[in-house]
């Protein structure tokens, strides 16, 4: 069945259901976030687990990793085999420090790996985002209407468990990071090893130290989180327009 494919195409086909993907990848973790992003595009085509949309007359692939570093390792390896060159993660994270609030945007300048995948690909637990993508994204924010969004850039801790997280874990992790998720370090490690650019931008979904937790707090600010997610999704296309033709960021008109 796969005899006509190269080794890399075979990997991509078996993992993703398509032998090639676009150079630019939008990579949410969950299917629910993927569907929210896809709803922004009228024209789209899905092959296997990859949906292609058009941004600035360029095809861009959307694919979700699933939650956690092990699932992320499989999907990202498939994407790299299929031809991915720039991977942009847009999803949610937890806040570890008290000056973060639900709905704030967090840009992962680097990741600190507490997971079991990342250090199989790189030597250090501290893994940098692509510096060029980080600079372009932060510049884009300052020039656009999204500059009104509360934004923090820093280190994210990537861990292997979710419901077992306690306040004590968060207090320990914030010795090295300001936010926490379950995928970014693995994305950065895999991409660094393969020479692929990567950046993770997230909306804060909980801050346990301030008892802002959607699973425990009946007074949780769902409106703030929804607003943050909507802002994040709204900026995806205009940001990708700035990199799809390697042009400088432009001011986004007020809506």
Would you list the domain boundaries of the chain? 7-244
Question: pTM of the prediction?
Answer: 0.92
**Hey, what are 122's tokens?**
């790189």
Residue 236 has pLDDT above 90, yes or no: yes
pLDDT for res 57: 87
Contacts of 74 (CB under 8 A, 6+ apart): 15
pLDDT for res 240: 94
pLDDT for res 248: 44
Residue 89 has pLDDT above 50, yes or no: yes
Closest CA to 209 of 104, 110, 92, 94: 94
Segments in 25-92 forming alpha helices (H): 31-38, 69-82
**CATH of 7-244 among 3.40.50.1970, 3.40.50.1580, 3.30.460.10, 3.30.2350.10:** 3.40.50.1580
130: DSSP letter: P
pLDDT-based confidence at residue 144 (cuts at 50, 70, 90): confident
pLDDT for res 3: 65
What's phi and psi for 248, nearest 5 deg?
-65, 155
Q: Report yes or no: 19 and 9 within 8 Å, Cβ to Cβ.
A: yes
Greater pLDDT, 123 or 247: 123
Greater pLDDT, 142 or 197: 197
**Hey, what are 27's tokens?**
């990579």
User: What is the spatial distance between Cα 72 and Cα 25, in angstroms, rounded to a whole number?
Assistant: 14
Residue 216 has pLDDT above 80, yes or no: no
User: Is the Cα dihedral 101, 206, 131, 143 positive or negative?
Assistant: negative
Residues in the chain: 255
pLDDT for res 214: 80
* Mean pLDDT, the chain, whole residue set: 90
- Per DSSP, the residues of 179-224 read EEESSHHHHHHHHHHHT-EEEEEEEEEEEGGGTB-TTT-TT--HHH
């Amino acid at each position: 069945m796969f005899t006509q494919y190269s080794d890399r195409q075979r990997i991509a086909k078996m993992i993703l259901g398509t032998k090639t993907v676009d150079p630019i990848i939008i990579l949410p973790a969950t299917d629910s976030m993927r569907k929210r992003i896809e709803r922004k595009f009228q024209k789209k085509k899905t092959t296997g687990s990859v949906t292609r949309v058009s941004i600035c007359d360029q095809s861009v692939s959307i694919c979700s990793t699933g939650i956690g570093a092990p699932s992320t390792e499989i999907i990202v390896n498939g994407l790299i085999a299929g031809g991915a060159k720039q991977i942009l993660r847009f999803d949610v994270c937890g806040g570890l420090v008290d000056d973060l609030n639900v709905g704030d945007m967090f840009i992962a300048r680097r990741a600190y790996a507490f997971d079991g995948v990342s250090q199989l690909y790189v030597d250090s637990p501290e893994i940098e985002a692509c510096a060029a993508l980080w600079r372009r994204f932060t510049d884009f924010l300052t020039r656009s209407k999204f500059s009104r969004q509360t934004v923090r850039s820093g280190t994210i801790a990537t861990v292997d468990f979710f419901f077992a997280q306690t306040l004590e874990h968060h207090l320990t992790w914030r010795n090295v990071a300001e936010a926490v998720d379950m995928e970014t370090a693995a994305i950065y490690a895999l991409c660094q090893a393969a020479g692929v650019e990567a950046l993770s931008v997230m909306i804060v979904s909980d801050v346990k130290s301030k008892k802002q937790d959607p699973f425990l707090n009946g007074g949780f600010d769902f409106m703030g989180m929804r607003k943050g997610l909507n802002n994040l999704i709204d900026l995806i296309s205009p940001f990708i327009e700035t990199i799809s033709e390697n042009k400088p960021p432009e001011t986004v008109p007020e809506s």
